[in-house]
Chains A and B, each alone.
Chain A
């Protein structure tokens, strides 16, 4: 899958879960930068990403995620 499509889908998941578009997807975007991205929405985002791409993250993979860039990279790696 093209990286641009992964980015688009992750952006859609963020918008749907957070119920707003007040952010710009970038590699450095993180939970601290986005209103409403708290522990509960984080859970929902992770499970939606797993569902969308038909993948399952390992716990150590989740805990190494720093920002949206690392999430995109991880998704790319797992769907290859």
Chain B
């Protein structure tokens, strides 16, 4: 029986990774923040995500080099982004912001300016020199097989081995994303922080109004 194999992403995987990012951004909702906050269709968002990945910047959630894939019968079926925060790079929040402001057209940035107040209080800082996970996703027909769990377990173990100075892993997710929370707690992550807004408009632009930080010591 053919096995699942794991490898780092390459440029041929960019379209799959763009789908991973979009699906993971929606989480347990049908709301795509990049669409609602920037007034873009999902197709246009995918186009811009592809452009950002093609820049091949290292050290953030839009870095091709940060993506790890599980392959089955020659096709990627699971993906997750992981990187060590601000290790040899500027903070990921700056790299991501630079990519977004470079890629998104001025009129869409102007639209975002009118919605930016909704994001207040909803950001969680990433600690430097911690292992970050972002955009974990399993294709529908491969769910329930612990493939993403095994991939993340492997990445945690490799980081511990190769970067002994990294003491902690962090993940952020919206609190309505129970499948993600279950997976992370099974991996040994604990909820250490939550941020929330009670502005009712937020549920029209974000997947949920509460975000969690989960951490695990390595």
CA A10 – CA B94 in complex, angstroms? 18
Interface of A is mostly: helix
**Cβ of B57 < 8 Å from any Cβ of A?**
yes
Interface of B is mostly: helix
Question: How many A residues touch the partner, as a band?
Answer: 10 to 19
Q: Chain B interface: which of A21-29, A36-44, A72-80? A: A36-44
CA A18 – CA B72 in complex, angstroms? 47
How many A-B Cβ pairs are below 8 Å? 54
Minimum CB–CB distance for B114 against chain A, Å: 11
**Structural contact, A57 and B102, CB atoms closer than 8 A:** yes
Residue of A43, A47, A57 with highest tally of chain B CB at under 10 A: A43
**What residues of chain A lie closer than 8 Å to B188, measured between beta carbons?**
none
**Structural contact, A47 and B57, CB atoms closer than 8 A:** no
**What residues of chain A lie closer than 8 Å to B99, measured between beta carbons?**
59
CA A57 – CA B125 in complex, angstroms? 26
> Can you list 16 A-B contacts with CB-CB less than 8 angstroms, sorted by A residue number?
A31-B91, A38-B93, A38-B123, A39-B123, A40-B97, A40-B116, A40-B123, A42-B93, A42-B97, A43-B97, A43-B101, A43-B112, A44-B112, A47-B110, A62-B101, A63-B90
**Contact surface of B with A, Cβ cutoff 8 Å:** 55, 57, 90-91, 93-102, 106, 109-110, 112-113, 116, 119, 123, 125
